[in-house]
Amino acid sequence: MGYTLDFQPVIAGLPDLLKGCAGTLLLAFSGMILSLAIGIGGVAVRGSSVRTARWAVIAFVELIRNTPFLVQIYFVFFALPLVGIRLPPTPTAIIALGLNGGAYAIEIIRGGVQSIHRGQIEAGLALGLPRRDIFRFVVLRPALRAVYPSLTGQFIMLTLTTSIASAIAAYELTSVAKLIENESFRSFEVYGTITLLYLLMSWGIMQAFGLVGRRYFDYPVK
Question: Domain span at residue 147?
Answer: 8-216
pLDDT, one tens digit per residue, over 140-186 is 778 778 888 898 999 999 999 999 999 999 999 999 999 999 998 99
Residue 2 forms part of a structural domain: no
Residue 221 forms part of a structural domain: no
pTM for the full model?
A: 0.88
Gap between the Cα atoms of 3 and 189, Å rounded:
11
- Is the CB of residue 187 less than 8 Å from the CB of residue 181? yes
- Is the CB of residue 83 less than 8 Å from the CB of residue 95? no
Residue 191 forms part of a structural domain: yes
Short-list 43, 20, 63, CA closest to 181: 20
Residue 182 forms part of a structural domain: yes
* Domains in the chain, number: 1
Residue 12 belongs to domain with CATH number:
1.10.3720.10
